[in-house]
Protein backbone atom coordinates (compact mmCIF):
# COMPACT_ATOMS: atom_id res chain seq x y z
CA UNK A 1 0.00 0.00 0.00
CA UNK A 2 1.69 3.16 -1.24
CA UNK A 3 1.03 6.56 0.33
CA UNK A 4 -0.06 9.30 -2.06
CA UNK A 5 2.80 11.77 -2.39
CA UNK A 6 1.77 15.41 -2.59
CA UNK A 7 4.63 16.94 -4.51
CA UNK A 8 3.32 18.14 -7.88
CA UNK A 9 5.43 17.46 -10.96
CA UNK A 10 5.22 18.81 -14.51
CA UNK A 11 4.41 15.35 -15.84
CA UNK A 12 1.45 14.84 -13.48
CA UNK A 13 -1.95 14.57 -15.11
CA UNK A 14 -4.75 16.91 -14.13
CA UNK A 15 -6.34 14.10 -12.14
CA UNK A 16 -3.07 13.41 -10.31
CA UNK A 17 -2.76 17.10 -9.45
CA UNK A 18 -6.37 17.12 -8.20
CA UNK A 19 -5.72 14.11 -5.97
CA UNK A 20 -2.57 15.69 -4.57
CA UNK A 21 -4.27 19.02 -3.88
CA UNK A 22 -7.16 17.18 -2.23
CA UNK A 23 -4.70 15.29 -0.03
CA UNK A 24 -3.08 18.55 1.07
CA UNK A 25 -6.50 20.06 1.70
CA UNK A 26 -7.59 17.04 3.73
CA UNK A 27 -4.47 17.29 5.86
CA UNK A 28 -5.27 20.95 6.52
CA UNK A 29 -8.85 20.08 7.52
CA UNK A 30 -7.62 17.48 9.98
CA UNK A 31 -5.13 19.89 11.52
CA UNK A 32 -7.81 22.57 11.79
CA UNK A 33 -10.25 20.18 13.47
CA UNK A 34 -7.52 19.15 15.92
CA UNK A 35 -7.11 22.84 16.80
CA UNK A 36 -10.88 23.27 17.15
CA UNK A 37 -10.85 20.26 19.49
CA UNK A 38 -8.35 22.05 21.75
CA UNK A 39 -10.25 25.32 21.49
CA UNK A 40 -13.54 23.64 22.39
CA UNK A 41 -11.89 22.02 25.36
CA UNK A 42 -10.78 25.47 26.55
CA UNK A 43 -14.18 27.05 25.90
CA UNK A 44 -15.98 24.24 27.73
CA UNK A 45 -13.60 24.65 30.66
CA UNK A 46 -14.20 28.38 30.68
CA UNK A 47 -17.97 27.99 30.54
CA UNK A 48 -18.03 25.24 33.11
CA UNK A 49 -15.85 26.84 35.73
CA UNK A 50 -15.74 30.61 35.56
CA UNK A 51 -18.75 31.76 33.64
CA UNK A 52 -21.48 29.35 34.71
CA UNK A 53 -21.51 30.78 38.24
CA UNK A 54 -21.85 34.34 36.96
CA UNK A 55 -24.34 33.77 34.17
CA UNK A 56 -26.53 30.93 35.45
CA UNK A 57 -26.91 29.75 31.85
CA UNK A 58 -25.76 26.33 30.68
CA UNK A 59 -27.17 26.54 27.15
CA UNK A 60 -23.91 27.66 25.52
CA UNK A 61 -21.95 25.07 27.52
CA UNK A 62 -24.28 22.35 26.25
CA UNK A 63 -23.92 23.64 22.68
CA UNK A 64 -20.13 23.57 23.00
CA UNK A 65 -20.28 20.02 24.35
CA UNK A 66 -22.48 18.97 21.44
CA UNK A 67 -20.13 20.67 18.98
CA UNK A 68 -17.20 18.88 20.63
CA UNK A 69 -18.87 15.53 19.94
CA UNK A 70 -19.68 16.55 16.35
CA UNK A 71 -16.09 17.71 15.86
CA UNK A 72 -14.77 14.37 17.08
CA UNK A 73 -17.10 12.45 14.76
CA UNK A 74 -16.01 14.50 11.75
CA UNK A 75 -12.35 14.24 12.73
CA UNK A 76 -12.58 10.45 12.95
CA UNK A 77 -14.41 10.32 9.60
CA UNK A 78 -11.64 12.39 8.01
CA UNK A 79 -8.96 10.12 9.51
CA UNK A 80 -10.78 7.10 8.05
CA UNK A 81 -11.16 8.88 4.74
CA UNK A 82 -7.43 9.77 4.73
CA UNK A 83 -6.60 6.09 5.25
CA UNK A 84 -8.89 5.02 2.41
CA UNK A 85 -7.19 7.46 0.03
CA UNK A 86 -4.14 5.23 -0.12
CA UNK A 87 -6.15 3.21 -2.66
CA UNK A 88 -6.03 6.12 -5.13
CA UNK A 89 -2.73 4.85 -6.52
CA UNK A 90 -4.59 1.68 -7.54
CA UNK A 91 -7.06 3.61 -9.74
CA UNK A 92 -6.75 2.60 -13.37
CA UNK A 93 -9.73 4.37 -14.89
CA UNK A 94 -11.58 7.67 -14.75
CA UNK A 95 -14.54 6.17 -12.91
CA UNK A 96 -12.33 5.18 -9.98
CA UNK A 97 -10.75 8.64 -9.87
CA UNK A 98 -14.17 10.31 -9.97
CA UNK A 99 -15.36 8.23 -7.02
CA UNK A 100 -12.53 9.65 -4.93
CA UNK A 101 -13.05 13.19 -6.22
CA UNK A 102 -16.79 13.05 -5.54
CA UNK A 103 -16.20 11.66 -2.07
CA UNK A 104 -13.75 14.48 -1.39
CA UNK A 105 -16.33 17.07 -2.43
CA UNK A 106 -18.79 15.52 0.00
CA UNK A 107 -16.28 15.74 2.84
CA UNK A 108 -15.47 19.33 1.84
CA UNK A 109 -19.14 20.28 2.21
CA UNK A 110 -19.33 18.53 5.59
CA UNK A 111 -16.19 20.27 6.81
CA UNK A 112 -17.32 23.72 5.65
CA UNK A 113 -20.77 23.23 7.18
CA UNK A 114 -19.22 22.16 10.49
CA UNK A 115 -16.84 25.13 10.41
CA UNK A 116 -19.67 27.58 9.71
CA UNK A 117 -21.78 26.23 12.58
CA UNK A 118 -18.80 26.32 14.94
CA UNK A 119 -17.98 29.92 14.04
CA UNK A 120 -21.60 30.94 14.59
CA UNK A 121 -21.59 29.26 17.98
CA UNK A 122 -18.40 31.07 18.98
CA UNK A 123 -19.86 34.38 17.80
CA UNK A 124 -22.98 33.71 19.87
CA UNK A 125 -20.86 32.89 22.91
CA UNK A 126 -18.67 35.98 22.63
CA UNK A 127 -21.71 38.21 22.09
CA UNK A 128 -23.33 36.79 25.22
CA UNK A 129 -20.16 37.10 27.27
CA UNK A 130 -19.52 40.62 26.10
CA UNK A 131 -23.11 41.67 26.80
CA UNK A 132 -23.21 40.04 30.22
CA UNK A 133 -19.82 41.38 31.25
CA UNK A 134 -20.85 44.86 30.16
CA UNK A 135 -24.03 44.58 32.27
CA UNK A 136 -22.06 43.25 35.24
CA UNK A 137 -19.62 46.17 34.98
CA UNK A 138 -22.51 48.65 34.84
CA UNK A 139 -24.06 47.11 37.95
CA UNK A 140 -20.77 47.08 39.90
What pLDDT, in 10s, does the model give residues 76-124?
Answer: 999 999 999 988 988 899 999 999 999 999 999 999 999 999 999 999 9
Is 4 a member of any domain? Answer: no
Is 86 a member of any domain? Answer: yes
Please state the pTM of the whole predicted model: 0.85
As a residue count, the chain comes to 140
Is 24 a member of any domain? Answer: yes
Is 6 a member of any domain? Answer: no
Is 88 a member of any domain? Answer: yes
Question: What confidence tier does 2 reach under pLDDT thresholds 50, 70, 90?
Answer: very low
Domain count, the chain: 1
Residue 131 has a pLDDT of: 77
CA distance 108 to 120: 18
- Please give the residue that has the higher pLDDT: either 7 or 27: 27
pLDDT digit string (tens) for 12-71? Answer: 889 989 999 999 999 999 999 999 999 999 999 988 766 666 666 678 889 999 999 999
Is 7 a member of any domain? Answer: no
Is 110 a member of any domain? Answer: yes
Residue 1 has a pLDDT of: 31
Q: Which domain holds residue 96?
A: 14-139
Is 113 a member of any domain? Answer: yes
Amino acid sequence: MEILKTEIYNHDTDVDVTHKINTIELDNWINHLKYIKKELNNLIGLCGEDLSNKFKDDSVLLKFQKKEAENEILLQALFNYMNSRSDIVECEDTHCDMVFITEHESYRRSYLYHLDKYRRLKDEFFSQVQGKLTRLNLIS
